[in-house]
């Protein structure tokens, strides 16, 4: 099927591989998994994902509503700061409302006390390769730090959220940190019904010891008599999509530079934020060396430098791998560039274009 570039292509077979691991963790450990919509909210594949996951978790009113309407099952509503209007709306469909602070819990308790409530905790430990993404960084606003104050709130709560990981693929570190959580907060957990360990646990990575991970979760759940929730975002969708582009120009400035019809800032923003290079599944590296750049006016709009097995020409296709997480949810209209379409390769191999974006979409986005 011929699709005009640029477009995101989600592969349901690759997605299914992750989902089956998530299901395996639930079967072995009893831990439920709710999809972190902040990472991936392309609801056209929710009909597949909801067969293997237990619901969704959100970072805003709109995400919570999307999870409720398009995914179903459990709807966990979290936000760093709710407004009164948010709370009025979210109580209509959330199974759990999780507050970021005691002050927010105090402010809205009378309005939400009929719903299961939680508080986010900042345990003072974390795993992150980037300070920008470290939930326990100095002066972090994310979660309750004061244990004495937290203890006072337990009669109002049914559970706690500990979100303190970012791309943690180290099982030993996870186990050590979970032991610390148990030692510091175990007495509180025994008084509650559930605990969420948040996202950022890379347990669908190739070679990850899933059975040992599940055993640790099961032991923790038994010890403190709580239902564990995980909030996979990247782990749910890693490796399942590509951003497919075409070369529109090749220029030379000491090195050959291929310019494609997409943009890092507009279409894979996290690469720019974290100063990372895109990934290309090109097999064996060739002898043709190119910097690949986007077509926005930003000087640093660069996907990376790669080796290709043949010379790039105008019209050559370049496919950027691992393009599902934090891409479609962050895509933007910077420079008014053409927004990539969204396509899905179904389990039966057929490809369906789910959404294309037009000038009208751009027009409506800016006024």
Domains of the chain from N-terminus onward:
13-237 (3.20.20.10), 239-366 (2.40.37.10)
Q: What's the confidence (pLDDT) of residue 28?
A: 98
The share of the chain scoring above pLDDT 90, in percent, equals 94
Confidence of residue 133 (pLDDT cuts 50, 70, 90): confident
Phi-psi region of 49 (alpha: psi -120 to 50; beta: other; left: phi over 0): alpha
State yes or no: pLDDT of 281 exceeds 90: no
Q: What's the confidence (pLDDT) of residue 283?
A: 57
Phi-psi region of 107 (alpha: psi -120 to 50; beta: other; left: phi over 0): alpha
For 330-336, what is the mean pLDDT? 97
For 19-26, what is the mean pLDDT? 98
CA atoms of 229 and 176, how far apart (whole Å):
18
Structure token pair of residue 4: 């005009």
CA 338 to each of CA 14, 231, 272: distance values in angstroms, whole numbers, following the listed order: 27, 32, 19
Q: What's the confidence (pLDDT) of residue 282?
A: 62
Residue-wise pLDDT tens digits, 96-121: 999 999 999 999 999 999 999 999 99
CA atoms of 323 and 221, how far apart (whole Å):
34
Structure token pair of residue 95: 């199974």
The share of the chain scoring above pLDDT 70, in percent, equals 99
SS3 21: helix
Q: What's the confidence (pLDDT) of residue 286?
A: 83
- What residues contact residue 285 under an 8 Å CB cut-off, 6+ apart? 306, 307, 309
- The overall average pLDDT reported for the chain is 96
- What residues contact residue 297 under an 8 Å CB cut-off, 6+ apart? 335
The structure's pTM equals 0.95
Q: Given the DSSP bridges, would you call strands 96-99 and 32-36 parallel, antiparallel or unpaired?
A: unpaired
Spatial contact of 56 and 75, defined as CB atoms under 8 Å apart: yes
For 19-41, what is the mean pLDDT? 98
CA atoms of 303 and 294, how far apart (whole Å):
7
Structure token pair of residue 122: 């900042």
């Amino acid at each position: 099927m011929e699709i005009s570039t640029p477009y995101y292509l989600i592969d349901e077979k690759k997605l299914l591989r992750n989902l089956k691991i998530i299901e395996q963790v639930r079967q072995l450990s009893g831990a439920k998994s709710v999809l972190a919509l902040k990472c991936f909210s392309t609801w056209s594949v929710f009909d597949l994902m909801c067969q293997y996951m237990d619901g969704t978790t959100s970072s805003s009113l709109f995400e919570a509503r999307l999870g409720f309407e398009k995914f179903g099952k459990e709807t966990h509503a979290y936000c760093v700061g709710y407004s009164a209007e948010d709370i009025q709306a979210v109580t209509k469909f959330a199974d759990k409302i999780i507050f970021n602070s005691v002050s927010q819990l105090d402010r809205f308790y009378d309005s939400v006390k009929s719903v299961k409530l939680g508080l986010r905790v900042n345990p003072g430990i974390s795993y992150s390769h980037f300070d920008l993404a470290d939930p326990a960084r100095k002066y972090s606003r994310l979660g309750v730090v004061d244990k004495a104050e937290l203890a006072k709130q337990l009669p109002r709560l049914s559970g706690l959220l500990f979100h303190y990981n970012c791309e943690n693929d180290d099982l030993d570190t996870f186990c050590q940190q979970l032991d610390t959580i148990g030692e510091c907060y175990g007495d509180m957990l025994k008084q509650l019904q559930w605990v969420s360990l948040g996202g950022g646990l890379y347990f669908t990575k190739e070679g990850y010891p899933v059975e040992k991970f599940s055993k640790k979760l099961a032991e923790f759940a038994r010890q403190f008599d709580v239902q564990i929730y995980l909030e996979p975002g990247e782990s749910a969708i890693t490796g399942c999509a590509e951003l497919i582009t075409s070369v529109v120009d090749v220029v030379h400035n000491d090195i050959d530079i291929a310019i494609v019809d997409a943009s890092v800032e507009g279409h894979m923003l996290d690469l720019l934020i974290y100063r990372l290079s895109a990934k290309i599944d090109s097999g064996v590296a060739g002898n043709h060396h190119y910097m690949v750049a986007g077509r926005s006016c930003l000087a640093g709009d660069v996907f990376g430098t790669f080796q290709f097995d043949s010379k790039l020409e105008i019209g050559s296709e370049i496919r950027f791998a691992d393009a599902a997480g934090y891409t479609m949810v962050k895509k933007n209209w910077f420079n008014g560039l053409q927004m990539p379409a969204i396509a899905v390769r179904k389990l039966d191999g057929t490809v369906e274009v789910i959404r294309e974006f037009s000038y009208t979409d751009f027009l409506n986005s800016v006024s």
